[in-house]
Amino acid sequence: MSEAKKERTYTDEEINTIGHLAEAAWHHPDITASYAWVEVRLQNHAAKGITDKDFELAKKIEDVVHWQPAKSGGALEGTPEKDQRFAYIKYDE
């Protein structure tokens, strides 16, 4: 396997967040966006494969994108489940 790949439906905010995390880490994935999906490909081009940098950035991306404030046990409640204005925010269980 030469690259790590994760696919799911993302919002524009999540795509921008992935870009920010990659820039902050100075490790840049290939991001392809379409109407209903985004593909994030991580690999180290110099190493011609996957390295610890790829796994570390993938973990950080998943931690941030899958964060559910209501389940974190803190003061933040997260988006209301039954409010249609926030129906675009979907969490994987």
Whether 21 and 57 have beta carbons less than 8 Å apart is answered as yes
Q: Which pLDDT belongs to residue 50?
A: 93
Judge residue 78's burial from the number of C-beta atoms within 10 Å of its C-beta, 0-12 exposed, 13-18 middle, 19 or more buried: middle
For residue 41, tell me if it sits in a domain.
Answer: yes
Can you give the pTM of this predicted structure? 0.71
Domains: count for the chain: 1
Residue 13 structural domain: 4-67
Q: Which pLDDT belongs to residue 1?
A: 36
What is the C-alpha to C-alpha distance for residues 64 and 23, in angstroms, rounded to an integer? 15
Q: What is the pLDDT along the chain (93 residues), one digit of tens a residue?
A: 345 555 545 578 888 999 999 999 999 899 988 877 788 999 988 888 999 999 999 999 999 888 888 787 889 888 877 887 777 666 665
Q: Which pLDDT belongs to residue 45?
A: 82
For residue 18, tell me if it sits in a domain.
Answer: yes
Length of the chain: 93
For residue 42, give the CATH number of its domain: 3.30.1360.20
